[in-house]
A and B are shown apart, each in its own frame.
Chain A
Amino acid sequence: MSKPKVGFYWCAACGGCEESVVDLAAGILDVVNAVDIVFWPVALDFKREDVEKMQDNEMAVCFINGAIRSSEQGEMVALLRKKAGLVIAFGSCSHLGGIPGLANLYNKEQVMKTAYKDTVTTVNESNTYPVESYKAPEGNLTLPSLWNTVKTLDQVIDVDYYIPGCPPPSSLLADAVNTILQGKLPAKGSVLAPDTALCHECPRKASKPEKVAIKEFKRPHEIIIDEEKCLLSQGLLCLGSATRSGCGWVCINGNMPCTGCMGPISRVHDHGTKALSAIASLTASNDEAEIAAILDKIVDPAGTFFRYSLPASLLHRKYEAPKEGGK
């Protein structure tokens, strides 16, 4: 019997998700024994035309990491959707939008201007910007277009399952591959990770006071962090109460607060808003002016609570009123 075929692809991502595949280390040999990897541009020399030549649903499963923010990525994932029986959004960026999703706080023009003009290390006196089409002596040259809004994978194509994390722990990937090989698939749309909040399983849970009340929010560089005590009770913005577990507490064990990369549990729709709600309600004051002063210490609510989930949030992006004469 031929082995099931598997593909990996990346879109707007940093490459960390590919690392997490490699982090299977010797375990990757078990994967290779069980499946045929037929597409993995980062590691193996396959091209787009190899995918185009495949039959529909020829790949059993395709893992796609990264957010979708260009016409090329949109085309590629639509093609992979056709060729793969199962599509798995792999990692925070394809699951919720991830770090690239923070570009949704700006529009395309602002992003281009920052990248090609405003950064201190950029010299661009002639105001040269990339164009999507250019007439050269050799013919018309084209580039894919950058979208105004960064999207999650499931806002572009149908997605069967999600593996969260930035990057996803290798253990979740190994579990997912085994689950698929054994055919024990959960309901479509499931996130293949435990469905409990990180706080619930936190190794520091015993040190959490019965009632957490925060008089002063602190940033990690401002204090010496106690290595045993609940990070939230030390005033740090730890998002464990609103975030899915399954990460292996790598940040907590590194004495750093949870930043929320695993996304929400299944009963929460908008991770950032829920985290904002949970943290704000812990403010230890009943005085309106004092509450505002304490919360002012959270300098960047959008970047803090929506670090990995802005495109998947209820607002998706910064609101831009339509121009006059529009809808």
Chain B
Amino acid sequence: MSDIKNENKPFEPRIVAFFCNWCTYTAADLAGTARMTYAPNARVVRIMCSGRLDPQFVLTALREGADGVLIGGCHPGDCHYMEGNYKTYRRFVLLRRLLETMGIEKERVRMEWIAASEGDRVQKVMNEMAGDLRRLGPLHLEPEAIDLHAALHGEIKPMIQEVAR
């Protein structure tokens, strides 16, 4: 993720976005086919349901170089799996309180309900979040907690070994 980190250019935030397959990811797709332009700061990770989002993913993204994390799921009542989005919301509420205690501004982790038809909302949220993060400036967590290479080559970091198998 070092591509936009250039000492001479003005700061551009890096956003890792976790979008649910059924609503927000489809909405981002729609924004694309409708040729809407919006801030190109986000790397989107598609997950089957926002309920799949383990809060460890959010902190890992921040630790490994993201300046902010955006979570997108279906509107309340619309979850493809009945209540995955509620579970994520419950975790998000507590996670954000934790982040505040840990000195990380609450604007850095944002959650939005975006339905499959709301491409314009993806555009708006992406632009807003990129703007918020430009104002806040970079998050300087040293990328060190998870050495993906070491984990995949035999050194013990069991969580990733399990996933890689």
Contact = CB atoms under 8 A, between A and B. Distances in A.
B55 A267 contact: no
Interface string A86-128: 0000000000000000000100000000000000000000000
A292 to B, nearest CB: 5
15 contacts: A266-B159, A270-B59, A274-B55, A277-B91, A280-B93, A282-B90, A291-B89, A301-B94, A301-B101, A314-B145, A315-B102, A315-B104, A315-B141, A319-B104, A320-B103
Specify the main secondary structure of chain A where it touches its partner.
Answer: loop
A94 B104 CA distance: 26
A266 B162 CA distance: 9
Given A274-B54, A318-B103, A291 B93 contact: yes
B146 interface: yes
Contacts of B157: 269
Contacts of A190: 156
B63 interface: yes
A269 B146 CA distance: 9
A286 B102 contact: no
Contacts of A274: 54-56
Interface string A58-101: 00000000000000000000000000000000000000000000
A238 B156 CA distance: 28
Interface string B124-145: 0000000000000101110001
A319 B103 contact: yes
A276 B55 contact: yes
Contact of A319 (B89, B139, B145, B155): B139
Contacts of B83: 286
Nearest to B151: A269
Interface residues of B, number: 36
B158 A267 contact: yes
Contact of B97 (A268, A283, A295): A295
B4 interface: no
A295 B87 CA distance: 13
Contact of A292 (B54, B93, B155): B93
Interface string A289-306: 001100100100110010
Nearest to B103: A319
Given A277-B91, A283-B90, 15 more contacts: A266-B159, A268-B56, A269-B60, A269-B157, A273-B54, A273-B59, A273-B98, A276-B98, A282-B90, A291-B86, A301-B94, A301-B97, A315-B62, A315-B141, A317-B102
A264 B102 CA distance: 21
A322 interface: yes
Contact of A295 (B94, B146, B158): B94
Given A298-B94, A321-B140, A288 B103 contact: no
